[in-house]
């Protein structure tokens, strides 16, 4: 992937526009017009492909940093070769008719990718709208109406979403720093853009629209670093089966699972939204306000009812309505009308003057208990809204304390809303949207304070594990159960109860004597996926007679329920003493993000609570601990009466080993440890299921 010259996309000193210029609506003419109309100060070279290229035209391509190619697909490769010969660093291909249409278009795009790699070209597109950089007054795109300059960068593979979001930003006076339409993402993708924007001095906030992803693992890894420096807000599409099919036909991309996307974005610290309205609201808040230092939110309002609605909206969030200090209460009493209320919610009343609004807000923000403030204003008789918003804008800002305004209404408050937003104060039509913005900022501020995750590489005999898996695949054994996977567990130094297969009741008794402890019997059948489905387990068998009778009862019971199933016998397994907690650890490989690891309780508790936590491999120590903390039912199990303190460090080791194992061997498609028995003395893998997929040559 070539993205070495991304700077040439946004800061070129010379640009060539390659295409047909014979009609007013020609794409090349539109790009040329936008470059000239925006006042780009560098050299612009139009290259008319409709005629035989003159030698002087070819010579003029020397020294070009960026070329915008607006040609039909069949001419693109020829143009790219010419541009590469002249030393062009970056190319934008606006043309459609590649991977997104399938068939010949797919192979043509593959040829473009190979050429870019061979000739060291940084390539955006194809099937894209181009880029814009406000700092250099450069609009190398097909979009004529763009917002004003600001500190928000935006990228999207969808041209229609680019148009919609840029048009919204222009209408709402939200300023942008960089914009890129990614198109089919043949070379430059979301990860490339994030990496570039992380170091862009003009960008403070990154927003984007995601449709599928070419390299999910790379995107997640890069994001985890970037989000500690700048907020990244993403609108994710294709979270349903229908959406994923639409993405495939739209840009010719494969998608990962919904759970994998959500897990990857959460793990990377990306702020996820599911609609355009929330994307806009958060972009406005993050683009203008500092991050809060804590959860305490003060509310200043001229309407008791509107203030109460705002306070009610804090329920279910991390936000807290603080009680003001004595000095603040005294100051508010001096400033406000006598009937004003100022206990923890400041109701200044409809008769308050514009100056009193600003003074009340300033007094609240000076309180040490307050970390952010929301001003809720309801229009009414005697409320001079234009004067109020002017006073709020003119009020000195308090460092480190974000402020937002909620103007109740629509058309009647539109001018005041626009004035506030142009002046850097985010304004909302209802308190809920503002509170969501504060909540998102608080969570992001907390994310930034977390220490960087430390990954752990566990000791293992990788060569031994590799030989075992190769032998399984060579024998076409792609489904492994129970004791069949013991060589892999041993290679990774995982503890497991001693287990042997008994084909008769007599051999079961002999094995139980050899194990010299209470045993469990588990049905052994390649046709029975989950033993709990057929009541296929007998536990706490102490005597030879109990083992013999348990074997007979178990095999006959299962045979009656599943007459078509071949029963190999029973697994005789050592019972773990004490009162172990039972958990399930499952890993499944996602096509875009790699191993997705799920942690839940096992047995009847799992059916009741249906609760789980998920992370993408590789897991860090912090990830493993967080997965256990997030499971409320697991916290209950730890405190269950009669159970000693659990060895959580041993359980962490199992989680981290599963992560390492799935990363070491891509042929492991699914891996399930169920149950993992956790006591005060360690953790044992008591059940294993594994699916293998042969690696493609």
Range of the domain at 613: 581-692
Q: Which residues contact 613 (CB under 8 A, 6 or more apart)?
A: 598, 599, 600, 626, 627, 628, 630, 631
Q: Of 247, 267, 288, which one is at a domain's C-terminal end? A: 288
Confidence of residue 474 (pLDDT cuts 50, 70, 90): very high
Q: Are residues 183 and 273 in the same domain?
A: yes
Q: Mean pLDDT, to the nearest integer, of 37-55?
A: 91
Roughly what angle, to the nearest 10 degrees, separates helices 462-474 and 648-664? Answer: 60
Give the per-residue pLDDT at 253.
46
Higher-scoring residue by pLDDT: 598, 634: 598
Q: Are residues 149 and 113 in the same domain?
A: no
Question: What is the percent of the chain with per-residue pLDDT over 90, rounded to a whole number?
Answer: 67
The answer to the question of residue 472 being in a domain is no
| Residue 654: closest CA among 645, 643, 662, 642 | 662
* Same structural domain, 337 and 435: yes
Q: Give the pLDDT of residue 260.
A: 86
Q: What is the dihedral of CA 638, 642, 644, 648, to 10 degrees?
A: -20
Task: Specify which residues 341 forms β-bridges with.
Answer: 347
Assess whether 298 and 444 both reside in one domain: yes
- Asked whether residue 298 carries a pLDDT value surpassing 80, the answer given is yes
665 pLDDT more than 80: yes
Alpha helices in 203-302 (DSSP H): 216-226, 241-251, 258-267, 276-288
Per-residue pLDDT, averaged over 344-373, amounts to 92
Q: Which residues contact 507 (CB under 8 A, 6 or more apart)?
A: 569
Q: Do 45 and 75 fall within a single domain? A: yes
**Contact by Cβ (8 Å): 28, 20:** yes
Q: Are residues 568 and 614 in the same domain?
A: no
Do 320 and 280 fall into the same domain? no
pLDDT greater than 50 at residue 80: yes
For residues 364 and 252, which has the higher predicted lDDT (pLDDT)? 364
Evaluate whether residue 463 is within a structural domain: no
Q: Is the pLDDT of residue 1 over 60?
A: no
Q: Which two tokens stand for residue 237?
A: 């599409």
Domain-ending residue, one of 66, 95, 126: 126
Asked if the structure places residue 459 within a domain, the reply is no
Condensed to tens digits (0 to 9), the pLDDT of residues 124-148 reads 999 999 999 999 999 999 999 999 9
Q: What is the structure's pLDDT at 4?
A: 65
- What is the tens place of the pLDDT at every residue in 622-643? 999 999 888 877 776 666 666 6
Burial of 694 (0-12, 13-18, 19+ CB in 10 A): exposed
pLDDT at 354 over 90: yes
| Mean pLDDT for the stretch of residues 487-493 | 95
Q: What is the DSSP string of 478-510?
A: -EEEGGGGHHHHHHTT-----EEEESSHHHHHH
Same domain, 322 and 396: yes
Could you give the number of structural domains in the chain?
5
pLDDT at 237: 78
According to the model, what pLDDT value does residue 220 have? Answer: 87
Mean pLDDT (whole number) for 296-312: 92
Helix (H, G, I), strand (E, B) or coil at 594: strand
Check whether 382 has a pLDDT greater than 80: yes
**Percent helix / strand / coil, the chain, rounded to 5:** 40, 25, 35
- Distance CA(166)–CA(181), nearest Å, equals 11
Q: Model confidence over 170-202: pLDDT tens digits?
A: 888 889 999 999 999 999 999 999 999 999 999
Instruction: For 19-30, write each residue's pLDDT tens digit.
Output: 999 887 899 999
Residue 136 belongs to some domain of the structure: no
| Count of C-beta atoms within a 10 Å radius of residue 132 | 26
Q: What is the pLDDT of residue 238?
A: 55
> What integer is the mean pLDDT of 390-413?
92
- Asked, for residue 552, whether it belongs to a domain, the answer is yes
Mean pLDDT of all residues in the chain?
89
> Which tokens in the block code for residue 474?
């060579």
| pLDDT of res. 637 | 67
Give the three-state DSSP class for 57: helix
Number of C-beta neighbours around residue 223 at 10 A: 24
Q: Comparing C-alpha atoms, which of 193, 188, 399, 155 is closest to residue 290?
A: 399
- What integer pLDDT is reported at residue 251 of this predicted model? 46
- In degrees and rounded to multiples of 5, residue 198 shows phi and psi of -60, -35
CA 404 – CA 281 distance, rounded (Å): 11
Q: Are strands 682-685 and 537-541 parallel, antiparallel or unpaired?
A: unpaired
Nearest in space to 417 (alpha carbons), one of 355, 375, 354: 375
SS3 state of residue 14: strand
Using one digit for the tens of pLDDT, what is the confidence trace for 511-533? 999 998 899 999 998 888 778 78
What number is the average pLDDT over the span 538-550?
94
Predicted local distance difference test score (pLDDT) of residue 259: 84
Q: Report if residue 464 sits inside a domain.
A: no
pLDDT of residue 608: 62
Say which CATH number the domain at 101 has: 3.40.50.720
How confident is residue 52, by pLDDT bands cut at 50, 70 and 90?
confident
> What pLDDT, on a 0 to 100 scale, did the predictor assign at position 668?
96
Q: How many CB atoms lie within 10 A of CB 696?
A: 5
**Do 494 and 366 reside in the same domain of the chain?**
no
Domain C-terminal end among 264, 288, 312:
288
Segment 89-127, tens digit of pLDDT: 999 999 999 999 999 999 999 999 999 999 999 999 999
Among 217-226, 306-315, 331-340, 439-448, the range scoring the smallest mean pLDDT is 331-340
Q: Is residue 205 part of a domain?
A: yes
Q: Is residue 697 part of a domain?
A: no
Indicate whether 438 and 296 sit together in one domain: yes
Q: What are the structure tokens assigned to 548, written together?
A: 């013999």
The reported pLDDT for the residue numbered 70 is: 97
The residue-averaged pLDDT of 565-569 equals 92
pLDDT at 482 over 90: no
pLDDT of residue 604: 60
Cβ within 8 Å of residue 180, ≥6 positions away:
9, 124, 131, 154, 155, 188, 193
Query: Distances from the Cα of 454 to the Cαs of 344, 457, 477, in angstroms?
Result: 42, 10, 36
pLDDT higher than 90, residue 407: yes
- 157/269 same-domain check: yes
401 plus 526 within the same structural domain: no
The CATH code of the domain that includes 324 is 3.40.50.261
Q: Which stretches of 340-459 are assigned E, i.e. beta strand?
A: 341-342, 345-347, 372-377, 403-407, 427-428
> Of 38-52, 352-366, 595-609, 657-671, where does mean pLDDT reach its minimum?
595-609
Nearest to residue 109, comparing CAs of 124, 94, 126?
A: 126
């Amino acid at each position: 992937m070539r993205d070495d010259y991304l700077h040439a996309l946004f800061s070129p000193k010379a640009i060539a526009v390659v295409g047909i210029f014979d009609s007013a609506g020609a794409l090349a003419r539109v790009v040329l017009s936008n470059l000239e109309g925006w006042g780009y100060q560098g050299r612009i070279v139009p290259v008319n492909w409709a005629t035989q290229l003159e030698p002087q035209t070819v010579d003029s391509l020397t020294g070009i940093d960026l070329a915008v190619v607006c040609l039909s697909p069949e001419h693109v490769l020829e143009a790219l070769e010419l541009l590469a010969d002249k030393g062009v660093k970056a190319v934008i291909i606006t043309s459609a008719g590649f991977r997104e249409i399938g068939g010949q278009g797919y192979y043509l795009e593959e040829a473009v990718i190979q050429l870019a790699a061979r000739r060291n070209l940084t390539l955006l597109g194809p099937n894209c709208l181009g880029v814009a950089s406000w700092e250099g007054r450069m609009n190398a795109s097909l979009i004529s109406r763009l917002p004003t300059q600001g500190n928000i960068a935006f990228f999207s593979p969808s041209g229609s979403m680019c148009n919609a979001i840029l048009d919204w930003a222009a209408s709402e006076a939200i300023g942008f720093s960089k914009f890129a339409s990614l198109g089919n993402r043949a070379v430059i993708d979301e990860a490339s853009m994030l990496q570039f924007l992380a170091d862009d001095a003009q960008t403070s906030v990154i927003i984007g629209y995601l449709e599928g992803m070419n390299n999910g693992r790379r995107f997640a890894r890069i994001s985890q670093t970037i989000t500690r420096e700048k907020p990244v807000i993403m609108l994710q599409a294709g979270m349903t089966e229908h959406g994923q099919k639409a993405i495939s036909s739209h840009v010719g991309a494969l998608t990962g699972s919904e759970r994998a996307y959500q897990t990857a974005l959460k793990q990377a610290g990306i702020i996820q939204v599911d609609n355009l309205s929330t994307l806009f609201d958060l972009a406005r808040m993050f683009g203008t306000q500092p991050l809060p230092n804590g959860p305490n939110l003060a509310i200043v309002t001229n309407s008791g009812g509107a203030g109460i609605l705002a306070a009610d909206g804090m329920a279910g969030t991390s936000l807290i309505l603080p009680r003001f200090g004595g000095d603040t209460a005294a100051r508010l009493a001096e400033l406000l009308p006598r009937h004003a209320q100022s206990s923890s919610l400041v109701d200044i009343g409809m008769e308050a003057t514009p100056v009193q609004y600003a003074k009340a807000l300033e007094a609240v923000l000076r309180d040490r208990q307050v970390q952010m403030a929301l001003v809720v204003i309801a229009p009414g008789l005697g409320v001079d809204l234009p004067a109020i918003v002017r006073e709020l804008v003119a009020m000195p800002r308090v460092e480190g304390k974000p402020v937002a305004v909620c103007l109740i209404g629509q058309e009647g408050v539109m001018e005041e809303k626009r004035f506030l937003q142009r002046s850097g104060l985010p304004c909302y039509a209802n308190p809920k949207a503002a509170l969501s913005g504060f909540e998102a900022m608080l969570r992001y501020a907390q994310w930034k304070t977390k220490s960087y995750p430390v990954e752990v590489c566990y000791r293992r005999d990788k060569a031994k594990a590799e030989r075992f898996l190769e032998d399984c695949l060579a024998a076409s054994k792609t489904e492994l159960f129970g004791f069949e996977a013991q060589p892999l567990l041993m290679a990774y130094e995982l503890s497991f109860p001693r287990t042997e297969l008994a084909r008769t009741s007599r051999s079961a008794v002999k094995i139980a004597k050899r194990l010299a402890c209470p045993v469990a019997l588990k049905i052994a059948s390649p046709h029975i996926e989950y033993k709990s489905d057929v009541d296929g387990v007998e536990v706490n068998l102490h005597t030879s007679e109990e083992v013999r009778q348990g074997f007979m009862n178990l095999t006959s019971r299962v045979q009656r329920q599943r007459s078509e199933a071949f029963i190999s016998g029973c697994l005789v397994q050592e019972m773990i003493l004490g009162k172990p907690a039972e958990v399930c650890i499952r890993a499944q490989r996602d096509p875009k993000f790699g191993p997705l690891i799920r942690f839940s309780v096992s047995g009847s508790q799992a059916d009741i609570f249906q609760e789980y936590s998920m992370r993408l491999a590789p897991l860090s120590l912090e990830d493993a601990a967080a997965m256990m903390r997030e499971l409320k039912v697991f916290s209950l199990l730890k405190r269950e009466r009669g159970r000693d303190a659990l060895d959580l460090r041993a359980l962490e080791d199992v989680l981290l080993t599963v992560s390492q194992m799935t990363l070491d061997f891509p042929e492991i498609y699914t891996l399930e440890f169920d149950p993992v028995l956790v006591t005060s003395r360690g953790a044992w893998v008591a059940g294993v299921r594994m699916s293998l997929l042969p690696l493609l040559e």
